[in-house]
């Protein structure tokens, strides 16, 4: 039982860190989000800026969803008891949430590397 509590505390701590980083990403995009039509994309720098804004919002949203799924998966795993199906389902949810975080991080890195190659401010 101590291992379960330890796992839950680790997942809760990671979820808290993800929530903090997601709020920072969303704060960079500006709130409320500017939903006016995209105009004035005349240079590669303008395109890079718009793509970066959309990517930041996407990564923030995925981080929030993944954090919620981590908590849900941990809840299923911890409350499974003798029910092996719920324990297996909880592990699967945790694995997919981590994969979602990794995919979102890769998208963020790829967009920023491509933006750096394109150049601009």
What are the residue boundaries of the structural domains of the chain, listed by start? 2-118
Distance CA 80, CA 107 (A): 34
| Residue 50, pLDDT score | 80
| Residue 49, pLDDT score | 78
What are 97's two structure tokens? 């949430």
pLDDT digits (tens, 9 = 90+) for 63-117: 889 989 999 999 999 998 888 998 999 999 999 999 988 888 888 888 878 777 7
Q: What pTM does this model have?
A: 0.57
Taking the CA of residue 13 as centre, how many other CA atoms within 13 Å lie in the half-sphere pointing to its CB?
6
The stretch 43-49 carries a mean pLDDT of 70
Give just the sign of the alpha carbon dihedral 80, 83, 86, 90. positive
Higher per-residue pLDDT: 3 or 70: 70
| Residue 44, pLDDT score | 58
């Amino acid at each position: 039982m101590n291992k379960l509590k330890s796992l839950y505390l680790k997942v809760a701590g990671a979820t808290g860190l993800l929530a903090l980083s997601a709020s920072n990403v969303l704060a960079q995009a500006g709130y409320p989000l500017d939903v006016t039509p995209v105009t004035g994309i005349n240079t590669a720098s303008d395109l890079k800026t718009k793509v970066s804004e959309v990517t930041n919002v996407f990564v923030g949203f995925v981080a929030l969803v993944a954090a919620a799924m981590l908590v849900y998966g941990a809840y299923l795993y911890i409350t499974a008891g003798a029910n092996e199906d719920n324990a297996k389902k909880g592990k699967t949810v945790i694995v997919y949430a981590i994969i979602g975080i990794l995919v979102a991080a890769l998208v963020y890195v790829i967009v920023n590397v491509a933006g750096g190659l394109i150049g601009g401010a």
